[in-house]
Structure 1
Amino acid sequence: MTPHAFNHILNGIDKNPIRVLALDTETIKYVPLDLSETHLELQTIDVSSSLHFGEYITSYSKTHQANIAFGGYLEVRNLYKRSTYFNSENKQTERNIHLGVDLWCPAGTPVLAALNGTVHSFNNNLNHGDYGPTIILKHSMCNIEFYTLYGHLSLDSISNLKIGETVIKGQHIGQLGTSEVNGDYPPHLHFQIIKDMQAFTGDYPGVCNVLDLEYYTTNCPNPNLLLKI
């Protein structure tokens, strides 16, 4: 199946936006958040500190009267320089291109399954700057299989899961974790679509280098095809 055909199927799964976070208010306002290396305002923020970084995101959301800041698909970011997990002496092999969409809001926010499926795998990914607790769901629609990844969750989110367990669209599958457990980030959900898991379990690259970008752009299409934010 061509990338265009797969993207067309994803876009047509639901005409309405698919929610992956449940807020206490019926009114949800999103604001786009630019975390790219070229964003001048961000260059004044100490993104190596989850505290200072979080203060910036909270202030940004309040200024725009939004309760969820979002963005980041294929964004080239400097914030991964703080972790040796992403770094490389070779600029071309440095992993700094983001493959999912981030949705920034408070810790404890319930996370919802995007679609009907089953639990493919889960894990606590402990590298500095990694996902922390992560859930991956498997979906089968229109005779194709694909996966959705939910990263930066709380430890409780993966404490009672079972591989193969059935989930339904909109089901509460976890909640956002704090910086102490989520890879040392301000609380947010990393949401990613994956066509081929490549034998990964409980983990899949959420950031790539420029040399691998063509493959990952095909294997990890824009999550906004489902979210429609």
Structure 2
Amino acid sequence: MNTEKFNQFLNKISKEPLPVIDAAISLESYFPIVISSKNKELLNFDISSSSEWEVYLKSFLEKNKAKIAFGGYFEKRNIYDRSNYFKNVSENEKRNIHLGIDLWCKESIKVLAVLDGEVHSFKNNKNFGDYGPTIILKHEIENEVFYTLYGHLSLASIENIKVGDAVLQGNTIGYLGSSTVNGEYAPHLHFQIIRDLEDNFGDYPGVSSKENIAFYKNNCPNPNLLLKLAI
């Protein structure tokens, strides 16, 4: 199935928004956020500090009367420059284009399976600036197999699960982790759709370099085709 048809397929799975964060939080409490260089507020604090990020996000949510700030698909971000894990030699090779949607909110909030599926893999990705605890679910709908990735979870989220565990849409699969375990970020969920995992286990790139973006645009469709948030 080509990219356009696969995107149409994802969009038709549900007419209604599919929750990935505690469904008790109303969609009216969501507010879009920009974390690219276009957001000049990021110049006002140390973006390498998770604690300063938390202060900024708390203020952002209060100002916008929101509980969850969201966005970031295909957003070019400077925040990854703080970590050698993402740095490469040239600007063209630097991994700074975000491939998922981030949902920023309080730690310990429930994370939900967006669709029926099973646990494909899980792992604690411990690099500074990485996902921390991560779960990947495998889905098969109308003979199409694809995956969803849930990053920046709590350690407890991956302690009592096993590969092959069945999950139902809306099941709680984990909880958001704190900055001490989630790669040194303010608490948030990184949610990503992946067509071909390329033999990865419990991990998959969440940001791309400019030189590889054509491949990832095809392999990592816009998660909003499922979430249907008003961006």
**What range is the shorter-chain TM-score in?**
over 0.9
Question: Who is 1:211 aligned against?
Answer: 211
* Contact in 2 for aligned 1:29/1:67 (Cα 8 Å): yes
TM-score scaled by length of structure 2: 0.97
Counterpart residue identity of residue 95, structure 1: R
Q: Kindly provide the amino acid, as one letter, of the partner of residue 11 in structure 2.
A: N
Partner of 1:105: 105
Q: Which residue does 1:54 correspond to in 2?
A: 54
Alignment partner of 2:136: what SS? Answer: strand
Give the 3-state SS of the residue equivalent to 2:193 in structure 1.
strand
CA distance in 2, matches of 1:77, 1:87: 12
Deviation for aligned residue 1:45 = 2.3
Between 1:38-47 and 1:182-191, the stretch displaced more is 38-47
Cα distance in 1, alignment partners of residues 26 and 4 from structure 2: 34
Say whether the 8 Å CA contact 1:28–1:67 is kept in structure 2.
no
Aligned Cα root-mean-square deviation (Å) = 1.1
Q: How does 1:87-106 map to 2 (within 5 A)?
A: 87-106=87-106
Paired position in structure 2 for 1:224: 224
Equivalences, count: 229
User: Partner of 2:133 in structure 1?
Assistant: 133
The answer to whether residue 202 in structure 2 is matched with residue 199 in structure 1 is no
User: Residue by residue, what CA displacement relative to the aligned partner does 1:86-145 show, whole Å, maximum 9, x if unpaired?
Assistant: 011211111000000000010000100000000000000000000000000000012100
Q: CA deviation at 1:28?
A: 4.4
What secondary structure sits across from 2:9 in the alignment?
helix
3-state DSSP of counterpart to 1:181: coil
Q: Which runs of 5+ in 1 are unaligned?
A: none
Q: Deviations over 1:68-98 (max 9, x none)?
A: 0000000000000000000112111110000
- Note closer, same or farther for the CA distance 1:23–1:145 as it changes in structure 2 (3 Å cut): closer
**Equivalent-residue separation in structure 2 for 1:23 and 1:143 (angstroms):** 28
Partner of 1:15: 15
Supply the AA of the counterpart residue of 1:7: N
Q: Which residue of 2 aligns with 1:184?
A: 184
Structure 1 letter corresponding to 2:36: S
1:37 is displaced (CA, Å) by 2.1
- Whole-Å separation in 2 of the counterparts to 1:209 and 1:5: 25
Alpha-carbon distance between aligned partners in 1 of 2:154 and 2:182, rounded to the nearest angstrom:
7
Query: In the alignment, is the contact (CA less than 8 A) between 1:136 and 1:147 conserved in 2?
Result: yes
CA distance in 1, matches of 2:212, 2:11: 25
* Other-structure match for 1:63: 63
Give the residue type in structure 2 aligned to 1:68: I
Task: Report the Cα distance in structure 1 between the residues aligned to 2:165 and 2:206, rounded to whole angstroms.
Answer: 24
Query: Against the structure 1 CA distance between its residues 25 and 98, is the aligned structure 2 distance closer, same or farther, given a 3 Å change threshold?
Result: closer
Moved over 2 A (4+): 23-28
Point out where structure 2 has 5 or more consecutive residues left out of the alignment: none
Q: For residue 167 of structure 2, what is the amino acid of its counterpart?
A: V
Q: Distance in 1 between matches of 2:114 and 2:144?
A: 16
Find the aligned partners of 1:222 and 1:169 in 2 and give their Cα distance. Answer: 19
TM-score of the superposition, structure 1-length normalised?
0.98
Query: Could you report, residue by residue, the CA deviation over 1:174-215 in whole angstroms, capped at 9, with x for unpaired residues?
Result: 000000000000000000000000000000000010000010
1:38-49 superposed matches below 5 A: 38-49=38-49
Cα drift, residue 58 of structure 1: 1.1
The letter for the 1-side match of 2:81 is K
- Greater Cα shift, 193-202 or 83-92: 83-92
